[in-house]
């Protein structure tokens, strides 16, 4: 899985909405996370050892700082302003602004398609639980909304299919599919305000 695909899988499937209080975003925090990503990627390229696993803690402020200052080149056209809230016990919530007119234009022609009636750049919020084990992950969606209006999981899947396509995955990402964690990551534990990545 490419970094871009992994980023989209973790963010678009799991992230949506801020909600644990105001965070502090900074370039320094974005730099700190970039260094942690680089170190994690390097460790993932090294042969696995029988020694105890290593772990790194990523804070909510670091993640949101990275989204603000560094995520632009990984985001598909039409996706902006991502942020994430780490609630704990695996639960996450985040938000991103999506250009729904682009989705509607691609799908035009079916008057019964609810996505054909959505317009403009609107916040999309997703709440769910990230479950990881033995190098695999799955995200269980609890709720999703567009501009505060609850939408069914099928609408979220349509948006994800549109925005998360890549040469490696031309069909996009399915919300129900398990996915391999990148860089030999074995699990990700989500706690309030932070996540611990274990390799």
Domain spans, the chain: 3-198
Does the pTM of the predicted model rise above 0.85?
Answer: no
- What SS3 string covers 131-155? EEECCEEEEEEEEEEECCEECCHHH
Task: Render pLDDT for 40-64 as a digit per residue (tens, 0 to 9).
Answer: 999 888 887 766 789 999 999 999 9
Coil vs helix vs strand at 183: coil
Q: What phi, psi does 161 have (nearest 5°)?
A: -60, -35
Task: Render pLDDT for 90-146 as a digit per residue (tens, 0 to 9).
Answer: 999 989 999 987 776 666 556 666 666 667 899 999 999 999 999 999 999 999 999
Task: Render pLDDT for 133-183 as a digit per residue (tens, 0 to 9).
Answer: 999 999 999 999 998 889 999 888 888 888 877 777 777 778 888 988 989
């Amino acid at each position: 899985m490419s970094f871009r695909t992994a980023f989209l899988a973790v963010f678009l499937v799991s992230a949506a909405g801020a909600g644990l209080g105001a965070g502090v975003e900074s370039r320094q925090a974005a730099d700190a996370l970039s260094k942690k990503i680089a170190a994690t990627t390097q460790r993932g390229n090294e042969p696995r050892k029988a020694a105890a696993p290593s772990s790194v803690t990523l804070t909510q402020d670091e993640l949101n700082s990275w989204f603000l200052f560094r995520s632009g080149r990984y985001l598909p056209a039409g996706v902006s302003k991502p942020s994430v809230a780490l609630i704990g016990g695996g639960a996450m919530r985040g938000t991103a602004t999506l250009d729904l007119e682009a989705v509607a234009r691609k799908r035009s022609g079916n008057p019964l398609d609810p996505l054909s009636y959505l317009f403009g750049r609107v916040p999309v919020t997703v709440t769910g639980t990230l479950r990881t084990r033995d190098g695999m992950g799955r995200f269980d969606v609890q709720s999703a909304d567009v501009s505060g209006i609850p939408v069914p999981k099928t609408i979220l899947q349509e948006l994800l299919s549109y925005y998360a396509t890549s040469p490696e995955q031309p069909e996009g990402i399915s919300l129900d599919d398990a996915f391999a964690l990148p860089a030999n990551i074995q699990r990700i534990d989500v706690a309030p305000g932070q996540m611990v990545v274990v390799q």
